[in-house]
Chain A
Amino acid sequence: GAGVSQTPSNKVTEKGKYVELRCDPISGHTALYWYRQSLGQGPEFLIYFQGTGAADDSGLPNDRFFAVRPEGSVSTLKIQRTERGDSAVYLCASSTQAGGLNEQFFGPGTRLTVL
């Protein structure tokens, strides 16, 4: 079956611009996660959705970052006034339910480059 998909695969933008990154989770998965992977680092947690609501957004670095999941399926990560330090690979994952015994399935990521 289809895995987690993310679009675009690559995004190049200029400092100060607004970007949206999209995640399509595996059908039926209620939990959705966003992580950010900087060069040479492991993924770092940003935000977690259970259904439509953001159950934990403690990993979002500042208020320029926002994410939504209005219908409990597709999610969009939004970054305002992008900065060069936002350059990273943004990963989305989904699982049947939240919790460590439920495997998180990762998408291929969106590589964001802020010039």
Chain B
Amino acid sequence: GDSVTQMEGPVTLSEEAFLTINCTYTATGYPSLFWYVQYPGEGLQLLLKATKADDKGSNKGFEATYRKETTSFHLEKGSVQVSDSAVYFCALGGGSNYKLTFGKGTLLTVNP
């Protein structure tokens, strides 16, 4: 079945540091890939998505590229802020697959 593996946390960075959170997936067919974010005390929010190979999703300075050859969708940001502190979830779904399959989540803490 479909599965998502993302880098274990927690990740602690200083403000303005570079962020990478690794995500790899196993799926049949051609899924869409997503990053969701959960800020403290809030619900899950879609951060960005990519629907086909080589697509780059971007939002709020975050980027991720759909790499079919490596089955990866790593999240990156060039300069993190304290307000980026949250739990980040990689997920796959798409097409006729309405279910989202999530990774375990990575807790990011950014210190001033």
Contact = CB atoms under 8 A, between A and B. Distances in A.
Interface of A: 3-4, 31, 33, 35, 40-45, 48, 56, 59, 91, 93, 98-101, 103-109
Contacts of A106: 36, 43-45
Contacts of A33: 98-100
Contact of B43 (A44, A59, A91, A100): A91
Nearest to A48: B98
Given A91-B43, A100-B31, A109-B43, A48 B99 contact: yes
7 contacts: A33-B99, A40-B104, A93-B44, A100-B98, A106-B36, A106-B45, A108-B43
Interface of B: 4, 31-32, 36, 42-46, 49, 51, 89, 91, 93-105
Nearest to A109: B43
Contacts of B49: 103
Main secondary structure of the interface of A (DSSP, over half): loop
Contacts of A4: 43
Contacts of A101: 32, 51, 94
A45 B43 contact: no
Contact of A41 (B32, B96, B104): B104
B51 A100 contact: yes
Report which residue of A4, A42, A93 has the largest number of chain B beta carbons within 10 angstroms of its beta carbon.
A42
